[in-house]
Amino acid sequence: MTGACSHGSPVPATGLDRTRNPSEVSAVSEDSPDFDRPLQGPLLAAVSRSFYLSLRFLPPPVRGPLSVSYLLARAADTVADVTASPAPERLELLERFRSALTDGPPPDFLLKVSAFAAGVDHSGERELLHRLAECFDQLKKLSPATRDCARRVMGHILDGMTLDLRRFPTSQPLRSLATDAELDEYTWLVAGCVGEFWTDICALELPGVFRESPDTMKTLGGRYGKGLQLINILRDQPGDAAIGRCYLPEESLRQAGLEGPVLWPAADWSSWHAVRRDLIARTRLFLADGWKYAASLRSIRLRFATLMPLLIGEGTLARLESLPSGGPPEAAKITRREVKRLARKALWMALTNRITPPAAAGSASTATITTP
């Protein structure tokens, strides 16, 4: 299960090979020969070390499809974020990206993407844009059903990026989402659909891996993904405001007592904190479904990959709740040391299948979820 929450720490692969399900043995021991290991390893690590550390422990049948899909999504996101290029130019390139998913990337498209790399600060993202053709090559190597899933989720993600660019074309003035429905749409397009995608891929490549029906798992995965994205929104609010973006809906701020325009800094922060408290409560409900999702997985490796962002998300929420509420909302991030501690905890939970939500989530989750 992906989310933009940073996570990951090396853990012994041998520990993740233990299983109670004989059908899982082949799933976690077979390699994916058709997937390019330089892409799956060095490039993925250069783009996102934390996500690479999570993906590397997935069962091989799903590792390749999820890795190449992540790289394609990250490449599109990098294009969308190149502020050195005007929004209309980025929108046009994203539409060409969409066409390339079906028809293949034409040479002039790849040259244009490479040119965008000059405006990218992150060295891993620059390399990704220069090597985008390899990612499209790996997309073609996926099975037809898996490739269709990857194209479908990329379509949703591109829809979310396009909406974002149209709503926030420049860094000034500050603009906010209008309604709560827009917020729900955005979180599903950029993260909720990813939870459903992971479920589809696992159902195709690891039949029998779920304890619940695929439809139930898709619902849980979609809500879990939206919860992770809400954490990103709450955590990154000061940085987003600095580039003219406010994902707290104006209608919610006004219902909480905001008068006048939506401004940052605000004359009175009380309405902002009221909306943030409501979103934190909503996020906990979504993460409760993440706990149910993790407990419904028969694969130790999948449980670990699902639990890492979940535990980090819960930790980030706890930090957000502990921040002072008298001034502007602050960013929140857990430390590398804490991430390592949570990795050990996720591994223990994955191995024992004793899925225990933190006490702070007790009102939204059961105390301990243990399945046979």
Full DSSP string of 42-92 = IIHHHH-HHHHHHHTTS-HHHHHHHHHHHHHHHHHHHHHT-TTS-HHHHHH
What distance in Å separates the CA atoms of residue 346 and residue 30, rounded to the nearest whole number? 24
Question: In the block, which residue shows the tokens 């490479």?
Answer: 114
Structure tokens, 283: 């996020």
pLDDT tens digits along 298-340? 999 999 999 999 999 999 999 999 998 888 999 888 898 998 9
Taking residues 43-61, what's their average pLDDT? Answer: 84
How confident is the model at residue 29, as a pLDDT? 33
Read off the pTM: 0.86
How confident is the model at residue 361, as a pLDDT? 57
- The answer on pLDDT for 17 being more than 60 is no
> What is the helix, strand, coil percentage profile of the chain, to 5?
70, 5, 30
How confident is the model at residue 42, as a pLDDT? 84
How confident is the model at residue 36, as a pLDDT? 53
What distance in Å separates the CA atoms of residue 148 and residue 66, rounded to the nearest whole number? 13
Which residue type sits at 39?
Answer: L
Q: Which is it for strands 245-246 and 354-355: parallel, antiparallel or unpaired? A: unpaired
Query: Is the bond preceding residue 265 a cis peptide, omega within 30 degrees?
Result: yes
**What are the Cα distances from residue 258, in Å, to 251, 263, 267, 325, 355?**
9, 10, 10, 16, 40
- The answer on pLDDT for 32 being more than 60 is no
- The answer on pLDDT for 74 being more than 90 is yes
Q: Give the DSSP H/E element, type plus range, for residue 369.
A: strand 369-370
Would you place residue 13 in the very low, low, confident or very high pLDDT band (cuts 50, 70, 90)? very low
- The answer on pLDDT for 16 being more than 50 is no
pLDDT tens digits along 198-253? 999 999 999 999 999 999 999 999 999 999 999 999 999 999 999 999 999 999 99
- Residue-averaged pLDDT of the chain: 87
Measured at the CA of 45, the angle between CA 137 and CA 4, to 5 degrees, comes to 95
One of 3.40.50.720, 1.10.3720.10, 3.20.20.70, 1.10.600.10 is the CATH number of 1-7+177-185+213-372, namely: 1.10.600.10
pLDDT tens digits along 280-304? 999 999 999 999 999 999 999 999 9
How confident is the model at residue 38, as a pLDDT? 59
8 A C-beta contact, residue 104 and residue 136? yes
Q: Where are the alpha helices (DSSP H) in 168-269?
A: 180-187, 193-205, 214-235, 237-242, 250-255
How confident is the model at residue 8, as a pLDDT? 29
How confident is the model at residue 9, as a pLDDT? 27
In 3D, which of 280, 259, 284, 281 has the Cα closest to residue 270? 259
What distance in Å separates the CA atoms of residue 134 and residue 258, rounded to the nearest whole number? 49
- The answer on pLDDT for 4 being more than 60 is no
How confident is the model at residue 24, as a pLDDT? 35
Region(s) of the chain under CATH 1.10.600.10: 1-7+177-185+213-372
How confident is the model at residue 1, as a pLDDT? 55
What distance in Å separates the CA atoms of residue 235 and residue 369, rounded to the nearest whole number? 28
Structure tokens, 209: 């891996």
pLDDT tens digits along 87-103? 999 999 999 999 999 99
- Residue 254 dihedral angles phi and psi, to the nearest 5°: -70, -40
Would you place residue 26 in the very low, low, confident or very high pLDDT band (cuts 50, 70, 90)? very low
How confident is the model at residue 177, as a pLDDT? 98
pLDDT tens digits along 135-182? 999 999 999 999 999 999 999 999 999 999 999 999 889 999 999 999
Q: Which residue has the higher pLDDT, 187 or 364?
A: 187
